[in-house]
C-alpha cells in the first residue's frame, strides 16, 4: 500500500512509519518543514516531503497534534482518503479528560475535506509501536466501506492482535475519548496500556 503520514516526524508518525515500512508498504512522511521531513525519513528508510507534496498515495494518515488537525487538512488539497488518528484530550490537575465537544475530531475533519474519512489507531502508544507491533487489538470506524477496509488493512499490519471494525464514523467519539482513559491508566500504573477484546474470533 502507498501511504502518506502527515505529522510523520512526530513520535506516533515515526513509529507508524517504521511498522508499515517493515510490513513492505511504500511510505512517505509529511511535515510542515521539508528539511525536517527528509531528515527523519532518511533515518527511517522512507521518503519525506512537505505535507502538501506527499504525492500519489492510496491512504493518508493524519497523525498531527489534535489542535492542528483541522487547520492542516484545510490547508491541503487531498486526493486520497484520510485516516484520522488524532484525539483531543484536555488536562486538569494532571487528569486526562475528553473534551466537552459533542462531535469527534474525525467528524469535524470530515466536514473540512472533500475525501472520505475513517478514524482509528487511537489506542496505540507511540513508545510501544516504535519498538515492535504491540500484542493488542486496534479499532477503526468510518462511513465509507472501501475506505474503512483500507484503514483496517493498514491497522492489521501494525499490531499482533486484530484490527476491529468499530462501526460508523460517529464511533470515533468513543475511540477518541478512550485515549484519555488510557492516559489516566498509564499515569496511575506507570505503563503503556493497550486494549484487547474478548469473545470474538
Within 10 Å of residue 198's Cβ, how many Cβ atoms?
A: 5
- Show the beta-strand stretches assigned E in the chain: 2-6, 26-31, 47-50, 59-62, 82-84, 90-92, 95-97, 117-120, 138-142, 163-165
- Residue 102, Cβ density class (10 Å: 0-12 exposed, 13-18 middle, ≥19 buried): exposed
Alpha-carbon gap, residue 132 to 188, rounded angstroms: 24
Q: Give me the chain's average pLDDT, please.
A: 96
Strands (E), 52-173: 59-62, 82-84, 90-92, 95-97, 117-120, 138-142, 163-165
pLDDT value of position 100? 87
Residue with cell 492516559: 183
- Asked whether residue 201 is domain-assigned, the answer is no
Please check whether residue 11 lies inside any domain of the structure.
yes
- The total domain count for the chain is 1
Q: What is the pLDDT of residue 127?
A: 95
> Is residue 197, in this structure, part of any structural domain at all?
no
Note whether 136 and 163 are within 8 A (CB). no
Whether residue 33 is predicted with pLDDT greater than 90 in this model: the reply is: yes
Per 3-state DSSP, the chain is made up of helix, strand and coil in percentages (nearest 5) of 40, 20, 40
**Model confidence pLDDT, tens digit, residues 154-168:** 999 999 999 999 999
Q: For residue 184, report the phi and psi dihedrals to the nearest 5 degrees.
A: -70, -40
pLDDT score, position 141: 98
- Phi and psi for 73 in degrees, rounded to 5? -70, -30
C-alpha cell read off for 192? 503503556
Share of the chain above pLDDT 90, in %: 95
The pTM of this model reads: 0.96
- Which domain CATH number covers 45? 3.40.50.720
Tell me the pLDDT band of 201, cut-offs 50, 70 and 90: confident
Print the domain residue range for 132.
2-189
In a domain, 195, yes or no: no
Q: Does 196 fall in a domain?
A: no
Amino acid at each position: 500500500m502507498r501511504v502518506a503520514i502527515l505529522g510523520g516526524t512526530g513520535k506516533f508518525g515515526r513509529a507508524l512509519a517504521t511498522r508499515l515500512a517493515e510490513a513492505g508498504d511504500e511510505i512517505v512522511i509529511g511535515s510542515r518543514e521539508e528539511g525536517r521531513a527528509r531528515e527523519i525519513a532518511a533515518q527511517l528508510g522512507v521518503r519525506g516531503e512537505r505535507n502538501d507534496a506527499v504525492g500519489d498515495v492510496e491512504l493518508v494518515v493524519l497523525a498531527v497534534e489534535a489542535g492542528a488537525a483541522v487547520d492542516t487538512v484545510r490547508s491541503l488539497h487531498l486526493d486520497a482518503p484520510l485516516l484520522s488518528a488524532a484525539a483531543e484530550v484536555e488536562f486538569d490537575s494532571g487528569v486526562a479528560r475528553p473534551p466537552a465537544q459533542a462531535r469527534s475530531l474525525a467528524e469535524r475533519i470530515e466536514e473540512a475535506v472533500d475525501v472520505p474519512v475513517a478514524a482509528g489507531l487511537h489506542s496505540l502508544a507511540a513508545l510501544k509501536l516504535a519498538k515492535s507491533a504491540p500484542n493488542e487489538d486496534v479499532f477503526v470506524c468510518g462511513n465509507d466501506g472501501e475506505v474503512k477496509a483500507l484503514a483496517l488493512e493498514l491497522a492489521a499490519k501494525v499490531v499482533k492482535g486484530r484490527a476491529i471494525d468499530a462501526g460508523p464514523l460517529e464511533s470515533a467519539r468513543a475511540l477518541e475519548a478512550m485515549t484519555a482513559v488510557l492516559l489516566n491508566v498509564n499515569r496511575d500504573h506507570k505503563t503503556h496500556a493497550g486494549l484487547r477484546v474478548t469473545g470474538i474470533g
